Amino acid sequence: MKKIHCIIVQSILLLWFFLDMTGLYFGNNCLVSRSYKDDGIFFLINLIVFVLFIFKERIGKWLAIVWFAMWFAIQFICHEWYTIFNGGFMGTLQGKIDYFSGTIQWLQIEGRYIPDVYHTILHILILCALISTIVYSKKIAKKK
């Protein structure tokens, strides 16, 4: 794994997450609504970690690993937890279903929350960034 591979994965993640800052609609279909007020701090942290990974790799790689792990854990609790356990601690199940009802869905099951297309791809990208950064960090640690 080369650093450029991590940069590419992190860039794709950053661009995908930027859609959350602006919102993206295809006619009447919402991929993701504009949520910079709710998620703007997450975007800024991700941007800072990305820049540090590029220019200050020694500290940036560790911040990236910690950040992606924490971010994925938060996303898991906010989304997949509701799917797996049919409830959670970040609001009610019905509130979660209602909040994301206007977004593009993979599938809808009455009374069940299933993460929408945007969040599923976001979670996969966070995991890819985490894994690629860990693999890269281990590889350069072996060289030293």
pLDDT, tens digit, 9 for 90 and up, residues 74-107: 999 999 999 999 999 888 999 999 999 999 999 9
pLDDT score, position 33? 94
What mean pLDDT comes out for the span 109-136?
Answer: 97
DSSP assignment, residue 58? H
Backbone φ and ψ of 86, nearest 5°: 55, 35
Backbone φ and ψ of 29, nearest 5°: -95, 125
pLDDT score, position 142? 82
Handedness of CA 127, 128, 130, 135 (dihedral sign): positive
pLDDT score, position 41? 95
pLDDT score, position 32? 97
| pLDDT exceeds 90 at position 126 | yes
Condensed to tens digits (0 to 9), the pLDDT of residues 20-72 reads 999 999 999 999 999 999 999 999 999 999 999 999 999 999 999 999 999 99
Q: What is the pTM of this model?
A: 0.94
